[in-house]
Structure 1
Amino acid sequence: MTETQSALLLRRQLAELNKNPVEGFSAGLIEDSDLYRWEVLIIGPPDTLYEGGVFKAHLTFPKDYPLRPPKMKFITDIWHPNVDKSGDVCISILHEPGEDKYGYEKPEERWLPIHTVETIMISVISMLADPNGDSPANVDAAKEWREDRHGAFKRKVARCVRKSQETAFE
């Protein structure tokens, strides 16, 4: 996969998302000239603790996309078991393809070149609705989610949602 092919693929995916938006998120380039750096706005899914939130994240694509996955990082503060404290998203489909050296994920759960920005974002929105506490990137959030979901965890998420609404369009 040459850089030109990956750029064409990314341009096509962006055009498709602009033509046929997918509920729950919007996507665009961070800088008009760089197809490898996208900004996404994720709307907190209804009937979840994240409902009403507007969370900004960046997707950084490798030059050999789609053979390798992009990296995703929340710019907006978010308290979630599968997002580390620096904002990096840790979900299976964003993990390098192949065998998991820890034996936790099946190869087909990891990155596959058939994934698109749309399938990544649908997975992230699903992750917000249903955290995976068995494989946490943020151990403190996972512990709270398991032990005090309706107390401390809910309060921290509510704070993140409020802050995301205040800073969404800065």
Structure 2
Amino acid sequence: MSAAPPSATTSSQQTSGAARLLQRQLKEINTANDLSGISVGLLREANVFEWEVSLMINDDCKYYGGAIFRAHMTFPPEYPLLPPKVVFQSPVPFHPNVYPSGELCISILHAPGEDRYGYESAAERWSPVQTPETILLSVISLFSEPNEDSPANLDAAKLLRAQREGRDREFAKRVRKCVRESLGDD
């Protein structure tokens, strides 16, 4: 019987370690008392690397109060060395930091290291100290305070700026429509 190549063994050990970490983190989120508005579970029982997330955006949020958005959070086998990906499912929030495809754009989910464009410092990007909990709390915060300086959805960023300057209310109209859709009212 031949032994597996060293790289295959290391890769499977890394994946196994990541799976154990994710199982623990999923359990911690589901038993935390201070995470109101966040619900997580496995997308498929046999795969701890794919989570289904529901975010209930509270009424105090000036842009998305009362909405419920679903997303998939996909973790790479190299987790926690590399970040997960968060993709909103239909309806996709109309938000400056969410691509029309639903993929979330937030600094803490960008690969670790220096930004080749010089926009973000390495300290703003992914670090293994981040957890699914800190990511989801950051996402909730992003609904209260979108980052229009680095938009994934240029139209949403332009309309938000126009609204903040008192020139237009189209952003609010699009957000209200999105909230209704998230609640199944549209």
User: What TM-score bracket applies, with the shorter chain setting the length?
Assistant: over 0.9
What is the DSSP-based 3-state SS (H/G/I as helix, E as strand, rest coil) of the residue aligned with 1:162?
helix
What is the DSSP-based 3-state SS (H/G/I as helix, E as strand, rest coil) of the residue aligned with 2:52?
strand
Identity, % of aligned positions: 49
1:77 to partner: Cα distance: 1.9
What does 1:105-120 align with in structure 2 at a 5 Å threshold?
105-120=120-135
1:20 to partner: Cα distance: 1.4
Q: For the pair shown, which has the larger CA radius of gyration, 1 or 2?
A: 2
What is the DSSP-based 3-state SS (H/G/I as helix, E as strand, rest coil) of the residue aligned with 2:133?
helix
Task: Supply the distance in 1 between the matched residues of 2:81 and 2:116 (Cα, whole angstroms).
Answer: 19
TM-score by length of 2: 0.86
Task: Supply the distance in 2 between the matched residues of 1:109 and 1:45 (Cα, whole angstroms).
Answer: 26
Mapped contact 1:45–1:128 kept (Cα < 8 A):
no
Mapped contact 1:45–1:129 kept (Cα < 8 A):
no
1:46 to partner: Cα distance: 3.2
Identify the match of residue 69 of structure 1 among 70, 83, 91: 83
- Would you say 1:132 and 2:150 are equivalent positions? no
For each residue in 1:74-119, what CA deviation from the matched residue of structure 2 results, as whole angstroms up to 9, or x when unmatched?
0032100000000000000000000001111111110000100000
Task: Supply the distance in 2 between the matched residues of 1:145 and 1:104 (Cα, whole angstroms).
Answer: 21
Q: Which amino acid aligns with 1:28?
A: G
Aligned-pair Cα RMSD in Å: 1.3
What is the DSSP-based 3-state SS (H/G/I as helix, E as strand, rest coil) of the residue aligned with 1:2?
helix
Identify the match of residue 38 of structure 1 among 33, 40, 51: 51
What is the DSSP-based 3-state SS (H/G/I as helix, E as strand, rest coil) of the residue aligned with 2:169?
helix
Identify the match of residue 118 of structure 2 among 103, 115, 121: 103
Q: Which amino acid aligns with 2:169?
A: G
What is the DSSP-based 3-state SS (H/G/I as helix, E as strand, rest coil) of the residue aligned with 2:161?
helix
Figure out how many residues of one structure are paired with residues of the other and give that number: 167
Deviant stretches of 4+, over 6 Å: none
- Would you say 1:157 and 2:175 are equivalent positions? yes
What is the DSSP-based 3-state SS (H/G/I as helix, E as strand, rest coil) of the residue aligned with 2:160?
helix
Task: Show structure 2 runs of 5+ residues with no match.
Answer: 1-12
Stretch deviating more after TM superposition (26-35 or 41-50): 41-50
Aligned to 1:88: 103
Q: Which amino acid aligns with 1:82?
A: N
Task: Show structure 1 runs of 5+ residues with no match.
Answer: none
Mapped contact 1:80–1:142 kept (Cα < 8 A):
yes
1:47 to partner: Cα distance: 2.0
Task: Supply the distance in 2 between the matched residues of 1:10 and 1:62 (Cα, whole angstroms).
Answer: 11
TM-score by length of 1: 0.94
